[in-house]
Amino acid sequence: MKKIFVIFGKRDAGKTHTSWLVYNLLKTISTKVVCLTGAPKEWTYNDVLAKINDFIPDFRTIVEINGHRVGVISAGDTLEGFRIAMQWAKNENIEFLICCARRYNRKNSVHKELQSLYSALIYKWYFKTYYDAKLRSNRILDAETVARTVFNDVKIFV
């Protein structure tokens, strides 16, 4: 693996939703969708935008772009599920990986695992939440803005 792009946020911040949008953006420049597991293949970018408050199942996918294998893993809530997904990514020879993690950096968390085992590979953490000083509360960034930022960063490498 060459680079990891992490979509990071609290529970129910829309990490899976955002990663699905990234996948659909990547499809527009890919030469081949190698696999897609866990989500309906017929969903489009606009379908997922419309599902903002609906449940979207975790999924894994690989697209090829200019000979590079780009993977998207939406599972990032549990360490066990994340480890299984990371092993899958290694077995599939993914060069660039978009994955998700909850914001909590504590023992047995995906966040801690990413920092301890993969920190050298992490290109950037994409925050789904930010602190709004005027409102004195955390706010959630919209999925489309974050997805386009991730997509544009991945394009730098492929």
pLDDT value of residue 52: 55
CA angle 43, 60, 71 (to 5 degrees): 105
The per-residue pLDDT of the chain, averaged, comes to 86
Asked if residues 153 and 22 have their Cβ atoms less than 8 Å apart, the reply is: no
Range 71-88 average pLDDT: 90
Name the band, by pLDDT with cuts 50, 70 and 90, for residue 64. very high
pLDDT value of residue 25: 94
91 strand-pairing partners: none
Cα 146 from Cα 120, distance rounded (Å): 22
pTM of the shown model: 0.85
Cα 16 from Cα 32, distance rounded (Å): 22
- The 10s digit of each residue's pLDDT in 35-53 is 877 765 666 656 665 665 5
Q: Write down the domain spans for the chain.
A: 3-157
